Amino acid sequence: MRRLKSFGERIASRDPDRQAAEIHTRIALLNPFSALGRAEIVRVA
């Protein structure tokens, strides 16, 4: 949750379904950035 809070302001929606959708949207935006920082492991031999 710390990443979500630092990504922007707090969750704006009051409806639980909309809160879940908002969190899923934020996570979907953060996933490509974490993939960029992840090392690619290649097997040699």
Token readout for 22 is 């908002």
Q: What is the pLDDT of residue 36?
A: 80
Counted residue by residue, the chain has a size of 45
Q: What is the pLDDT of residue 2?
A: 55
Q: What is the pLDDT of residue 25?
A: 85
pTM of model > 0.85: no
pLDDT tens digit string along 7-30? Answer: 566 777 778 888 888 888 888 888
Residue 3's pLDDT band (cuts 50, 70, 90): low
CB 30 within 8 A of CB 3: yes
Closest C-alpha among 4, 10, 5, 9 to residue 30 = 4
Q: What is the pLDDT of residue 37?
A: 79
